[in-house]
Structure 1
């Protein structure tokens, strides 16, 4: 009798196995009230599914894979509570508890990042090791090896938390960390773009609770937490890839097919269908299976996952990786669903193109997109054309028709193409480009670029370490532009996180950057003021930021020689102002007289 009972219990336990429930919980009072819950377990689709407490099941979807069942429930006007799902097959049954949590007050109307912010981009594995005990973890393959440039180095969420004060002191107001969800690749998992579980923080970074705590610590400082979200692909070690819910969960070809990376095929009226499909459906790299956002199950999964992270981790915004490689209609529906749930939530998409019209196509309410009846609903895009101009202009000492500071001026002449020019992300470098301080190993040129970045329209983003002079050569591999921040590890030769630990070289860069960015914090004229700029002369670019209350005059001298500026050319903007005080050097200038400016230098004048 005892043996028979044990066999029965073993049979029921085996039969009742649920390996995954996603989302793992949800919230009441969500705009997205129809939540589709994925249950995963051996032959789970053989069961009939019911739910307790009068909750309405609006749909049950089974696929060709019997290990999945997708159950949609209606949570509208349902109070926070625990509900019970019952799975029954004949006389056998088992249950699964599911929680609907209390939503944070005013969560739907959370504020997000905007042009008043400065975004600090960091790579957590390379920033600071706050908890050496999690450098390796038994649940993931790649172990810590700081001696390997492309290996795991041990940076983590605790390291970010411990150095929030440093970022705040610098003058940045938001953190964009490259992805933190689990990446179980055997090699090069440190960048975490090949995610293997999108509901779980990588254990080498910490826990989900640690990530929430990071948001809380940032919010105490009035700072914002921006998640790097990946919609286009997962890593090939993602737990679903070896047991796909449907064959078309990912894009598949008879043989491996890379993306052709030609994003112009998304809107080119002359493009072949084959080329357009290979852009959207081809894999970004061989280790990153391409997700099929045209599959409603996939799109819903990604939408709910994104909302889950916003709600759980109390996020302030997204940066979306490889945005324009997604299925165009699918990603626009994903974006609209996020911003319908959170009307003030900002999302910047990586649209790496070298033409302003092509980038503007992807911003919400674009008139260019409207020509094709397309709206991405994407609030913000990244200003790659400005980045491209900055990457060469400061080495071009002699101005010609198309070289020198004129490149920067020409970039801004196309601002009319964007539906919301203040809401684009500006940068001189990021984790995928050449390090600025490698291109320009010259502090004066760093000053020029940072002054420009801090005073033009848009949301400036800086890349960790530039503010202390860090460099790196992408030609040597990505690891060289993603080096460890000095002082983030016990035993480092110096600790650049502290004023006393910085070398004179690092201090020079940091002090300048901090002065500039902290000045910018309270300057609404820079955040949302209008711009008038003047055609550069002698490689000198002059522009004005102004509103009803204030005017700032910026002079960027890209000429290696001292220049004299005739102020009467700028009376249109100088108006009745008589003097200007330079916020960088504190000198004052009489606007009735000529202004002299040293070679390769900048002035930021608050007009009085």
Structure 2
């Protein structure tokens, strides 16, 4: 990367006059809590000229960097009394270029927006594989990779229009919040469909649509009383990001003197952040290493980098009216840098929600990253990150349900054991819980298409503490194995393309098995919508016996009894064991079967079956 920087810097220095090629952010808003705005102005040798603003507006600071193609202007927006002004580039007192900058009027309730919460269910899609609503944008002249649906690792054509056309399907399922893997431009030559190697953080990839299409998606979701989460990647950008191709400074990214062309892969040892015995080299190997060959690692100990990322997140939140952000590879960032990023975004939106991808396998390791963590407090650290992802729960779910015979540490005891660690988390309701996403084996692949096991897992995910997240296609039994490849766990949704033989987005287009999956999911998730006892109630659970797990969700007004029978045989439960939670309750209704139940001496539950009982 040092070589790339030098070449571009030399070519830029040879240009006598500048011309503005990019301004980021392209516009901003009045009325932000933090009135300071840093504007990046980019053009050939632009730093060799004078810069001033029209209308007598003062520039608080002009910061130049090693590369003369960049200038960073800081202004105080509270002191600007015009909606539009010009950024003028002058050479010998002559204006040679200008950019019209706009300060928009901020929505009145923007700062008070409420983020997603445990009252929601999140539906996650890989947009390239969900639905192709506009085949005309499948291949575009401004990006390298063209559509090839025959290649598992290629672009298949799914887009924003396809998502918008199928929002009613997602709403019918019972999901309330939509999360897509990154939609910003990823201009890598191959494997660009996943979006995690962004080449422009302010632009929606043209193969997905336009910025306006993304804003329209937000509007359409809000019309349906649904929420929007944007996937954000501060840890790494793509090799073809325009700023990576012409680095502002050598320390904009991490590059290694002992690596090939500056590249050295991360050691992925995220626990080195808080390991009291960690070597300095292990910490640097995680934080400074590149996630992959096409993903340069951003130096988020550089204040300019952090400020750029903060403003980018705020810009999308305002422009697209976001309800939340999901942060990719959270622990791979410089800890102080990503904490500053999180704190500054949350200061702007106190009721917002940000969930960090914490793909670690110990509850203590996950708890460390949540705001006000007791674990982090041991060393005086607070992440200010409201929500984290409960991967320890994810890790054992498939294994637990696949073990029909209970042993001391097998079967549903695995689930029970994970939940006994809940004391570690400062906000247990703000854990994102999942059994599948775009990086792991599909849950139905682990179950080999056994819908009974899927129903057991979904019954737990829909009734436990936290925020359930569903991965697209799981609700119709889609399978896929990571051992085959990432493309296999990110298959095209059947019916998303006009030439598909079936359309699982419609009831008539689903097979009998797909209908069984969908209807069960729909029943549980729609029931959950109006159940505060599930959203914020307390949990009392009883250690599994005979591979039957019983727990209660309760508050002052209501109580729900959940029974999960993972045994291959029918089980009869002695209800005296649960007297402290059943009290004088004698009746209930199982919302899955619809049956009214008498709860006096015993309860019989068929093999491999779940019950979600509203107690009366």
Alignment TM-score, normalising by the size of structure 2: 0.96
Matched, 1:442 2:450: yes
2: CA distance, partners of 1:383 / 1:53: 52
2: CA distance, partners of 1:102 / 1:591: 59
Aligned to 2:180: 177
Unaligned runs of 5+ in 1: 1-12
2: CA distance, partners of 1:57 / 1:574: 67
2: CA distance, partners of 1:80 / 1:395: 64
Q: Secondary structure at the match of 2:254?
A: coil
2:546 to 538, 545, 561: 538
2: CA distance, partners of 1:55 / 1:452: 58
Matched, 1:124 2:127: yes
1:219 to 219, 222, 226: 222
1: CA distance, partners of 2:368 / 2:305: 25
**Residue by residue, what CA displacement relative to the aligned partner does 1:189-245 show, whole Å, maximum 9, x if unpaired?**
110101100100000000000000000000000000100100100010101112100
1:191 to 186, 191, 194: 194
**Residue by residue, what CA displacement relative to the aligned partner does 1:114-145 show, whole Å, maximum 9, x if unpaired?**
00000000000000000011000000000011
Cα gap change, 1:123 to 1:14, in 2 (>3 Å): farther
**Residue by residue, what CA displacement relative to the aligned partner does 1:156-210 show, whole Å, maximum 9, x if unpaired?**
0000000000000000000110000000011111101011001000000000000
1:529 to 515, 526, 537: 537
Aligned to 2:3: none
Aligned to 2:231: 228
Cα gap change, 1:520 to 1:247, in 2 (>3 Å): same
Aligned to 2:274: 267
8 Å CA contact 2:362–2:392 kept in 1: the answer is yes
Q: Secondary structure at the match of 1:560?
A: coil
8 Å CA contact 1:29–1:78 kept in 2: the answer is no
Aligned to 1:363: 370
Aligned to 1:18: 20
Q: Secondary structure at the match of 1:165?
A: helix
2: CA distance, partners of 1:16 / 1:41: 6
Aligned to 1:66: 68
Report the alpha carbon displacement of residue 478 of structure 1 after superposing the two structures with TM.
Answer: 0.3
2: CA distance, partners of 1:49 / 1:475: 55
Unaligned runs of 5+ in 2: 1-14
Equivalent runs, 1:88-167 vs 2, <5 Å: 88-94=90-96, 95-167=98-170
Report the alpha carbon displacement of residue 14 of structure 1 after superposing the two structures with TM.
Answer: 8.3
2: CA distance, partners of 1:239 / 1:65: 14
Cα gap change, 1:118 to 1:14, in 2 (>3 Å): farther
Report the alpha carbon displacement of residue 76 of structure 1 after superposing the two structures with TM.
Answer: 1.6
1: CA distance, partners of 2:575 / 2:285: 54
1: CA distance, partners of 2:223 / 2:79: 32
1:554 to 540, 556, 562: 562
Aligned to 1:82: 84
Aligned to 2:406: 399
1:472 to 480, 488, 502: 480
Report the alpha carbon displacement of residue 97 of structure 1 after superposing the two structures with TM.
Answer: 1.4
8 Å CA contact 1:434–1:474 kept in 2: the answer is yes
RMSD of aligned C-alpha atoms? 1.1
**Residue by residue, what CA displacement relative to the aligned partner does 1:298-324 show, whole Å, maximum 9, x if unpaired?**
000000001000000111101100000
Report the alpha carbon displacement of residue 77 of structure 1 after superposing the two structures with TM.
Answer: 5.3
1: CA distance, partners of 2:58 / 2:516: 63
Equivalent runs, 1:254-333 vs 2, <5 Å: 254=257, 255=259, 256-333=263-340
Report the alpha carbon displacement of residue 85 of structure 1 after superposing the two structures with TM.
Answer: 1.7
Aligned to 1:452: 460
Report the alpha carbon displacement of residue 32 of structure 1 after superposing the two structures with TM.
Answer: 2.2
Cα gap change, 1:582 to 1:246, in 2 (>3 Å): same
Q: Secondary structure at the match of 2:491?
A: coil
1: CA distance, partners of 2:87 / 2:490: 46
8 Å CA contact 1:394–1:405 kept in 2: the answer is yes
Matched, 1:41 2:49: no
8 Å CA contact 1:28–1:77 kept in 2: the answer is no
2: CA distance, partners of 1:50 / 1:79: 16
2:351 to 344, 349, 352: 344
Cα gap change, 1:79 to 1:455, in 2 (>3 Å): farther
2:582 to 568, 574, 577: 574
2: CA distance, partners of 1:340 / 1:193: 26
1: CA distance, partners of 2:417 / 2:55: 63
2:382 to 375, 387, 408: 375
**Residue by residue, what CA displacement relative to the aligned partner does 1:302-347 show, whole Å, maximum 9, x if unpaired?**
0000100000011110110000000000000000000000111100
**Residue by residue, what CA displacement relative to the aligned partner does 1:498-529 show, whole Å, maximum 9, x if unpaired?**
11111111101000000000000000000000
